[in-house]
Chains A and B, each alone.
Chain A
Amino acid sequence: MSGGRDPGLQPERTRLAWRRTALALTVIMVLTVRLAVTGDAVGAVLAGVAVLGWGAALAVCWRRASGTRPIASGGRSLPLVALATAGFAALGALLVVRGLW
């Protein structure tokens, strides 16, 4: 663990940034589920998609946030959480348009 020799506590700050991102993703998931659940089967399926996407994104955040050793570059974690965010945006837009019918 290099935290002892790094006065800027960079790994810690990065881990906390991942945790804040996980919290924001959780808020998004709750709002999406609330919008999706309309009492019919399609709504339940879309809510399930939101929960699954949240679970996958949280697993990525968790893995990255719990590493004790700084990794040179974030690898696939970063594009994966960006993909999850874009996915939530698309799902939200779909739900809003669906609400018009």
Chain B
Amino acid sequence: MWQAIRRWFDPRELRSVGSTPDYRFSLANERTFLAWLRTGLALVAGGLAAAQFLPPLPLRHLREVIAVALLLLGGAVAVRAVDHWARTERAIRLGEELPVSRFPAVLALAVGLGALLLVAAVLARAVGGGR
């Protein structure tokens, strides 16, 4: 694991494998990384906003749990983005198949499930007369 982290920060090692591809492929890979990073930043912003702008919820500390979950998810997205970028760059240089990942599906399911739970909470509150 430490080797992988060291590899992210060492561009020389990345450039030592395979052959230099058309720079447009590298730039496209870089933009994909940035799009993932902004996804992570949006999750972090959501967590920070939940902590500050949600009113206290009926369940004790539920607001804080939601905030920390979003923050940790955002951080995980950022770390995974740089790992996927490095593995993709390596595959492009070596002319291999691009790495596949279950992460987007897992993230989509997690966000969808969270949204459903919130819809259920809002409906329960509306039916219950609100507190």
B81 nearest CB neighbor, chain A only: A82
Beta-carbon contact of B78 and A89 below 8 Å: yes
In the bound complex, how far is the Cα of B34 from the Cα of A25, in angstroms?
12
Chain B residues near A96 (CB-CB < 8 A): 47, 51, 64, 67-68, 71
Most B CB atoms within 10 A — which of A6, A10, A71?
A10
Per DSSP, chain B at the interface is: helix
Interface residues of A in 53-101 (CB under 8 A from B): 70-76, 78-79, 81-82, 85-86, 88-90, 92-93, 95-97, 99-100
Chain A contributes a number of interface residues (CB within 8 A of B) equal to: 42
Q: A76-B9, A89-B75, A96-B67 are in contact. Are A14 and B30 (CB under 8 A)?
A: yes
Beta-carbon contact of A35 and B48 below 8 Å: yes
In the bound complex, how far is the Cα of B76 from the Cα of A88, in angstroms?
12
Within the complex, the shortest CB–CB distance from B95 to chain A, in Å, comes to 16
B94 within 8 A of A: no
Beta-carbon contact of A28 and B45 below 8 Å: yes
Q: A10-B23, A70-B27, A82-B82 are in contact. Are A99 and B51 (CB under 8 A)?
A: yes
Beta-carbon contact of A97 and B68 below 8 Å: yes
Within the complex, the shortest CB–CB distance from A7 to chain B, in Å, comes to 10
Interface residues of A (CB under 8 A from B): 2, 6, 8, 10-11, 13-14, 17-18, 20-21, 24-25, 27-28, 31-32, 34-35, 70-76, 78-79, 81-82, 85-86, 88-90, 92-93, 95-97, 99-100
Beta-carbon contact of A92 and B44 below 8 Å: yes
Beta-carbon contact of B74 and A89 below 8 Å: yes
Most A CB atoms within 10 A — which of B35, B48, B71?
B48
B106 within 8 A of A: no
Of B28, B72, B82, the contact of A78 (CB 8 Å cutoff)? B82
